[in-house]
Amino acid sequence: MSCSLRETLVLPARLDAPADWFGALPFSRRIAEIGFGNGEFLFHRSGLEPQVLHLGIEVSLRCIDKAARRVYLAGRRNVRLILGDGRFLLREAFPEAYFEGIFMHFPCPWPKTRHARRRVTTPDFIETLASALAEGGFFELLTDEEAYALAAQKAMGGHPSFRLESFEVDPVRPVRTKYERKWMEMGKPIFRLHVVKTAPARVAKISGGGSGPMHIVLPGARLDAERLRAASSLEGGTDDARWVVCNSYSGVDGSGLVQVVTCDEGFEQRFYIRLVPREDDCLVKVDDASYPFNTPAVHAAIGGLAALLEKRS
């Protein structure tokens, strides 16, 4: 039976959805691949296990588009593709112990010190993996960087919720990814780490499950050119939830559009907030074309812009 392209995509992921936010899909087993690239491995695995729901999480819309067309043409009903940051989504968008297995193949090793928080070896990400996996579930990492593989082996092998199952060099695999073929042609060794979850784990969410509206109504407030210009220099928040305004624009309808960047514990989002003057009030809301996750920094940015409009001349 074929599936629709709409069924294949879940864009964007929702934090305000029910616990099983895929609804009544008949899958009790779930596998995720973070950063699936062109989707070769995801497509291969979903064909071998039609009874398992395969979730692909990817930050590239181009990769999502390529994989979605492949899945759609093959009529695969057990695949869903999600646009977003896997580090954030595993922690915020799914219930605990949701996945039977999680794959991550050839992630960027982030060699620079200032990017260290993005590595899979960080305590936060390892805790997220432990929370997302069911007991007995597995995590598999493939990389061409030996130092990265050894760091992951040490960090995950020493975690109380994981048991190191295997650490292999140049493993035999039924299907290889584009990057895997590239590195092998260059003569680079491939490292595979496989760990199994053996004990319960829990990680605190920062989004609150998407609670709270992402808009504010300000009775008696007004929007003018001076205040819109002032918005361009706004920033604020805490160490864990920062926000900054990049630009502001005037709309032909008298509204204002403000470009915002937020950062929640290292997770960055770029989106727009619209300022809408009305007869008796002013509405501050996330623009309809933006889909930020509902996080503390997003709420702080909306509140900061609202405070600017509330100021009296």
Residues annotated within a binding site for S-adenosyl-L-methionine: 33, 58, 85
What's the rounded Cα separation, in Å, for the pair 93 and 214? 17
- The CA–CA distances, whole Å, from 138 to 13, 29, 36, 282 equal 23, 13, 17, 50
What is the residue type of 216? I
What's the rounded Cα separation, in Å, for the pair 107 and 143? 7
Question: Is there a contact between 255 and 223 (Cβ–Cβ < 8 Å)?
Answer: yes
What is the residue type of 117? R
Sign of CA dihedral 26, 32, 36, 39: negative
Q: 185: helix, coil or strand?
A: helix
Burial of 92 (0-12, 13-18, 19+ CB in 10 A): buried
**CB proximity list for 172: less than 8 A, separation 6 or greater:** none
Annotated binding residues, as ranges?
33, 58, 85, 112, 144, 177-180
Question: Is there a contact between 36 and 67 (Cβ–Cβ < 8 Å)?
Answer: yes
Whether the ω angle into residue 160 lies within 30 degrees of 0, i.e. cis, is: no
169-189 in b/e form (b: 16+ CB < 10 A) is: eeeeeeebbebbeebeeeeee
Annotated binding residues for substrate, as ranges?
112, 144, 177-180
